[in-house]
Homo-oligomer: A and B are copies of this chain.
Amino acid sequence: MNKSTFGKLFTVTTWGESHGKALGAVVDGCPAGLELDESHIQKYLNRRKPGQSRYTTARKEGDQVEILSGVFEGKTTGTPISLMVRNMDQRSGDYGNIAYSYRPGHADFTFDSKYGFRDYRGGGRSSGRETLGRVAAGAVAIKLLEALGISFCTYTKAIGPAEITEFHPEEIENNAFYMPDKKAAEKAGAYLEQCMKEQDSAGGIIECRIKGVPPGLGTPVFEKLDAMLAQAVMSIGAVKGVEIGEGFHVAQMRGSQDNDGFAASEKGIVKTSNHAGGIMGGISDGSEILLRAAVKPTPSVSQPQATVTDKGENISLEIHGRHDPVIVPRAVVVVEAMCALTIADALLGNMCARLDKVQEFYKK
């Protein structure tokens, strides 16, 4: 792994800060011959875009992606694909009062500890805007995986106490929270109204279902598929937990309950349940992969907070400017992007696991 590079065969290197000139990503290792153009990527970036509801901030982010390399006559060439989005609407003025304070819940203090100074505008590279490069790269991965019959369904499972009790995927795009349950979305709305009244913010849980993943992906022990998914998703800002299948609920279960049995069918061997969430021994088993991420509440709240300046003086900080009361809906597409990047990398990596397959590939 590398600081700003994820993956081994299908890799992405991201760059850019909240208030810098631009943000972007370089995708390397995408197999040649995949149809790709800006529209494929733009539709994913649009799912990041705030301003879609009264619960997301009014920054008009624009965010038009440009493909600068790696595509020729509409197809990937196998060479690095450089993606860029120019920063248009980042008004520095919004952030003036935090240049010299350590905002609670943010990375100001830790960035200063590590680097000696930081780009304080909008959080610099610790800003949620950094995920723009990841989503652009994830869009390329998703396009590749589509060509292999793999699909994603990612949504908000809960915001605060408002949790889905039914699953209607067609509802996901119909509400501001990307929840597949209309009633739950309404409860979430009410909860957030309350939070905003109290100048506060809310957290939640994102769930990602991946269908069509062939068995065999992931390599023990350190490149186990669940381990790579955990790294990928935990690397998203504001994520504080990752679980697969039953996740933390396994602590309460018995072996007889948690085990997935097998049965013969016309389609071959199938699992009779899926408590494992599609991954066993760190390798995909062909059933649906199920992952959840816990997202903390937006740290930037307008309530006064006790903190310090970077010189160590106690102060009371009130953060103004444009901040969402909840991060979760914006993070949904980011979780999907990171899962797609991980699956794409594992998919390519699995091709050389068996001698007979290698020989078949190279037969003259």
Contacts and interface: CB of A to CB of B under 8 A. Distances in A.
Contacts of A262: 102, 104, 109, 306-308
Interface in A157-179: 158-161
Interface string A310-341: 00111000000000000000000000000000
Interface string A338-364: 000000000111111111111101101
Contacts of A263: 306-308, 314
A103 to B, nearest CB: 8
B350 A114 contact: yes
Contacts of A102: 262, 269
Contact of A352 (B15, B76, B221, B348): B348
How many copies the complex holds: the figure is: 4
Interface in A78-121: 78-82, 84, 102, 104-107, 109-111, 113-119
Interface string A296-315: 11111101011110001110
The 7 residue pairs across chains A and B that have the minimum distance between CB atoms: A107-B281, A241-B243, A201-B255, A231-B231, A110-B283, A105-B259, A113-B215
Given A32-B353, A105-B260, A114-B216, 14 more contacts: A4-B28, A13-B26, A72-B119, A105-B258, A110-B283, A113-B285, A115-B354, A195-B254, A200-B256, A205-B248, A240-B248, A241-B248, A250-B297, A255-B298
